[in-house]
Amino acid sequence: MGILQSGKYHASAELILYSIIACIILFCLYVVSTVNYLLFHGLVELASIVVAFTIFVIVWNTRRTITNTFFLVIGISFLFTGSIDLVHMLAYKGMGVFPGNSADLPTQLWIAARYFQCIAFLAATLLIGKSITKERKYDAGIIFSVCTAAFCFLLASIFLWQNFPHCFIDGTGLTPFKIASEYVISAILVLAIVILALKRSAFDPVVWQYLVAAQVFLIVGELAFTSYVSVYGFMNMIGHLAKLVSVYFFYRAVVVIAISRPFDLLFSELKQKSVALQQSESRYSLTFDAVKDGLWDWNVPSGNAYFSPSYYTLLGYQNGEFPATYEAWRQLVHPEDLARVEAQLQHHVKTDTGFAIDLRMKTNSGDWLWVTTRGMGVERDAAGAVVRMVGTLSDITGRKRAEEALRETNAYLNNLFDYANAPIITWDPGFHITRFNHAFTQLTGRSQEEVLGKTLDLLFPGETRTASMALIQKAFTGERWETVEIPILAKDGTIRTVIWNSANVLDLNGTIVSTIAQGVDITERKRAEAALRQANKQLNLLSSITRHDILNQLMALKGYLYLSKEMIDDPSTLTGYIEKEEQAANAIEHQITFTRDYQELGVAAPAWQNVNASIHKAVAGLPMRAVHIEPDPADPEVYADPLFEKVFYNLIDNALRYGGDQMKMIRVSSQESDTSLAIICEDDGVGISAEDKKKLFTRGFGKNTGLGLFLSREILAITGITITENGEPGKGARFEMTVPKGAWK
């Protein structure tokens, strides 16, 4: 405690002594100024110039080790500030160095020097803790170049171009520009002090105090220079004395401390880093003790290494149980991993880059443990080659198990997605298709190359595209589809009706990143429903017509029976009535037989019917004589009622009955267009007359039952197929069935 008090007393006494000496010097200079102002001015300026040049020399020669760009800017700028002050001193009124005897020139030089100094100081504070180029490699050169350019510009504006504003007018005093400049310079210095205060942690405390004090006295001097009338006046003297005190503090901050305590000034950042490094090493040690990772240190040329105790423990060995060499280490690496790991290690050694490698290592129990080793080069030889690397070893068994489980889950989900029976599709927030499965390819006939990255609207028919996209946009806003019916346009132009349900995929922030939709193709069901509705309609119509016809015939039969009773004694008349009764009975029989034919109409759902197979079944039940049947070479399939083969039966039966003895051939063919498929059944018989064509499909028209072609038309109408006869009389009959788009394949 006594020693501490003695040290404080000594420091206080030293401060009092320095203060007394400073006051004596200032008083002596004041006396000198009253006797010979030029001598006073020369002494003050010369002292500031010497300090400025000294600061530059110290900073320039230590520029490669300075870690704070602030001192680099200050030190280099002092060379140019001192040079302008030197010219100012020589140009002072009464020195006689420059032509003329005006006070304007030295005042201009003074303002130029102060602008240079305050701007340089502000720039230096802004660069505290920063660098201009990477690793400050070119910082000194850039700063020197900028200062040189500014220095040359100022001197050229005063001496060469002579466009620098006037600062002093003899007989009048200071110009408004000069006075305003002193205030601007003072404001810039105040701003620099504020920034310096905000970043004071970057400096040694004593150095920071000296720097702030130097600027404060510089501001005092600048304010004093705003009110003098004569360059030899009192306020001019006060300004120069304040500048001298400012120079003294710069001297203390840079020159004295740079010589006696250079570490504090030029290497304060290194000192801070040294403390931080010690703290970091402490945390580093505690961290690795906690996580139990192994540490290694490898001398590359010799192959010797260091393995920490935790390194051995991680692999199940006692400390030092296997040699700490590269060769011993490689013996523990899994044979399947060794070539890959060594290749990666050699690559990182050559390229001097950090690495992280996953591998399997043999434990003391003989099992293989998944680990990751991380490392980096820390020492290099004169040629720049890595000679020492350090790193860590971590157990990643848990991570590998998780990765494997994730891979299995992803594989399962991918298979579930790709091979699901239902079509599945995903798209991004921009409605671009990102993925779809095999069932979707089967639905649309489109490959991934044709669809991925394209917008969804290409999947929709033109007439429903706008409505479909509106539904898609609703789904994107959060509306979930349970069952939404959206038509899909296949590659071949057919339209499939699909019921969709959808869900949005969200990221961790709740933002929609994707939408997934699953569909059920109900095209066949919709066709079947429409066909059944049509069949019911047809059946109701046929039942109504048949019932009406049978009732008419029964009424006629009952009428003739009544008349027969009345004519029992008139045999000839009775015979005529009996014939009429037989005709009515036959008509009723035909009507009942017809109901047997159409009772199956629409009972079963429509299905895909093979044209040629239907022809073969029809031919098998007919007496073909010598007539040759040519089936359709294209062999299409059409979506029709199961009674479809009855159509060919009736067409071929009519040809055999009415085609004539000269008919030799019945040919079936098909012609495909953009909108329909035409199935043509034609023969080379006598054909059908123009008059008969008009009634050909009318119920009851014909020489047999008059119901075959009528029934055929009704069978085809169930699925929207129409039939017409357009042959030429005398050249054979020609029936044409028109199948709508999407109802053939």
* CATH number, position 740: 3.30.565.10
Residue 411 covered by a domain: no
**90: closest CA among 145, 131, 41, 162?**
41
Domain CATH code at residue 51: 1.20.1070
Residue 480 included in any domain: yes
Give yes or no: residues 561 and 615 share one domain: no
In this structure, is residue 610 part of a structural domain? yes
In one-letter notation, the amino acid at residue 541 is: L
Q: Are residues 45 and 30 in the same domain?
A: no
Q: Using 50, 70 and 90 to split pLDDT, how confident is the model at 690?
A: confident
Q: Are residues 682 and 724 in the same domain?
A: yes
Q: Are residues 260 and 308 in the same domain?
A: no
**Greater confidence, 561 or 738?**
738
Count how many residues are written for the chain.
Answer: 745
Domain that holds residue 393: 292-402
What is d(CA 144, CA 456) in angstroms, rounded to the nearest whole number?
A: 62
Say whether both 626 and 732 belong to one domain: yes
Per-residue model confidence (pLDDT) at position 442:
86
Of 474, 498, 520, which marks where a domain is finished? Answer: 520
* The domain boundary residue, chosen from 483, 502, 520: 520
Same domain for 492 and 549, yes or no, is no
Sequence-separated (6 or more) residues with CB below 8 Å from residue 28: none
Q: At 257, is the secondary structure helix, strand, or coil?
A: helix
- Residue 90 pLDDT: 87
Q: Which of 588, 604, 620 is the last residue of a domain?
A: 604
Question: Are 110 and 17 contained in the same domain?
Answer: no
Q: Is residue 445 part of a domain?
A: yes
Give the pLDDT band of residue 546 (cuts 50, 70, 90): low
How many angstroms separate the CA atoms of 86 and 42, rounded?
A: 9
Kindly state whether residue 176 falls inside one of the protein's structural domains.
yes
Measure the CA dihedral 555/560/563/569, to 10°: -160
**Could you tell me if 152 and 177 lie in one domain?**
yes
Question: Taking 60 as the threshold, does the pLDDT of residue 425 lie above it?
Answer: yes
Does 286 map to a domain? no
In terms of pTM, does the model score above 0.75? no
- Structure-token match 């010219």, residue found: 87
Q: Are 506 and 487 in contact (CB under 8 A)?
A: no
Are 611 and 669 within one domain?
yes
Domain harbouring 480, CATH code: 3.30.450.20
Give me the helix-helix angle, 139-155 and 104-126, nearest 10°.
160
pLDDT exceeds cutoff 80 at 86: yes
Query: Residue 536 domain-assigned?
Result: yes
Look at the block and give the residue holding tokens 């030295």.
Answer: 106
Q: How many Å apart are CA 460 and CA 464, to the nearest integer?
A: 7
CA distance 714 to 735: 15
189 in the same domain as 106: yes
Lowest mean pLDDT among 9-18, 486-495, 532-541: 9-18
- Which of 434-438, 440-444, 574-578 shows the lowest mean pLDDT across its residues? 574-578
**pLDDT per residue as tens digits for the range 89-139:** 888 877 877 877 778 888 889 899 989 999 999 998 998 878 888 777 788
Q: What one-character-per-residue DSSP string does 81-108 give?
A: HHHHHHHHHHTSTTS-SSSS--SHHHHH
- Split at pLDDT 50, 70, 90, the class of 157 is very high
| Confidence bin at 612 (pLDDT 50/70/90) | very high
Stretch 184-213: mean pLDDT, rounded?
87
Domain count, the chain: 6
Average pLDDT over residues 275-287: 60
Alpha carbons 85 and 106: distance in angstroms, whole number: 9
DSSP per residue, 535-548: HHHHHHHHHHHHHH
CB 100 within 8 A of CB 159: no
Using CB atoms within 10 A of its CB, is residue 590 exposed (0-12), middle (13-18) or buried (19+)?
Answer: middle
Report the half-sphere exposure of 156 (CA within 13 A, side-chain side): 6
CB 446 within 8 A of CB 460: no
**Is 604 or 107 the better-scoring residue by pLDDT?**
107
Q: Are residues 427 and 487 in the same domain?
A: yes
Asked, for residue 213, whether it belongs to a domain, the answer is yes
Angle (CA) 220-225-229 rounded to 5° is 150
Same domain, 310 and 323: yes
